[in-house]
Chain A
Amino acid sequence: MRALIVDDSRFMRAHLRQLLERIGVGCAEAADGLEALILLRGAEEFDFMLLDVNMPRMSGLECVKALRDAGLHSAMKVMMVTTESDNSFISSALEYGADEFLMKPFAPESLREKLTMLGLAA
């Protein structure tokens, strides 16, 4: 299982990587939406992407919309991981093509449960 972690916070990327590696998921990282899209145009395959929202250059919402519009990695699950929590915002993310939504701060078991929901963890 491979995941792409997209977050402008180095601390958050390290935290997510640690949680994922603990359950056997290999990780790559990107610091914003644009860097993520460049990576996703390459040859590497990912099973899912954890995507922050508020980032420089390209936001998570712009990233997921661009990704889905281009039909890139259509089987890859996208979970927004963000401090945003308004219902209208969550609705927009789902409409743009995100599969799930996790609000920061979160407990490790919440991440695990959301991955299970998406069929990505036991």
Chain B
Amino acid sequence: MSVQAGTMLLERHAPGPRPVYAPGVEEFVGPLRADRVGRLHRTEAEASTLLETSFFRERETFDLLRETILPRMIANNAAERRLRIWSAAASTGQEAYSVAMLIREHFAELAEWDVKIIGTDLSGDAIEYAKRGRYRRAEVNRGLPARMLMKYLARDDDEWEIHPGLRSMCEFAEADLCMPLPELPQFDLVLLRNVLLYLPQAGRSYALGSVSRQMAREGVLLLGAAEQAEDSTNLFQAEFAGECCYYLAVG
């Protein structure tokens, strides 16, 4: 671990309880080396995940969902009237709730469908935060149009709470993409954005393999704008729409 990386880990903290702190890199790494039960390793792994997120992050992705991907899925799944969407690095929940808002706003026909958005993240603290569905001023200020704020969140004290109708569309659970996954359904759409950037190649391959096994036939994978599934071309086929790229599960 570089001094810079160690310093970053010491400085950053997740919402909720603060992680273990140490005054310097050696003091931080030493207990990790001696950590037999893995408690500190878990804390370190959670701290090293980046919780940076916002509502409607990378707007082009949501345009792509609205204009191309969701209409196609609705046509494909018209018989069973069911959609399963996975926000695979859900952080504090804004991505999952943004997808729910997009569906409510633009796809009224899905109100009668069985639609579930499942958000998972390595960080238990982030998942607890997502489950609360309550956001602070700095969070609703980011990426969320004022009209959507009015329509889908209710002010309560110093926070804004996601409306129950949207919350009922979303479920959250802990999952580590670099470990065997908990029981999850087959997904029609997976958002795995801004995660692969931070994984070594072996981790990227493992995560993409796990994700591909959770995808339904003709399922779609969306990565972050700066990510490509270049080392998993046997699992996914790239499709292009304007400046955006998405991936179809192969097989």
Contacts and interface: CB of A to CB of B under 8 A. Distances in A.
A47 B147 CA distance: 21
B150 interface: yes
A105 B146 CA distance: 16
Interface residues of B, number: 15
A86 B54 CA distance: 21
Contacts of B146: 90, 93-94, 98, 100-101
A28 interface: no
A90 B141 contact: no
Contacts of A91: 150
A75 interface: no
Contacts of A109: 142
Contacts of B147: 94
A18 interface: no
Given A103-B137, A116-B59, A117-B59, A87 B145 contact: no
Contact of B54 (A101, A103, A113): A113
24 contacts: A86-B155, A87-B150, A90-B146, A93-B146, A94-B147, A101-B146, A101-B149, A103-B140, A103-B141, A105-B137, A106-B138, A106-B141, A107-B138, A107-B141, A107-B142, A109-B142, A110-B138, A113-B54, A113-B142, A113-B143, A116-B59, A117-B59, A117-B143, A117-B145
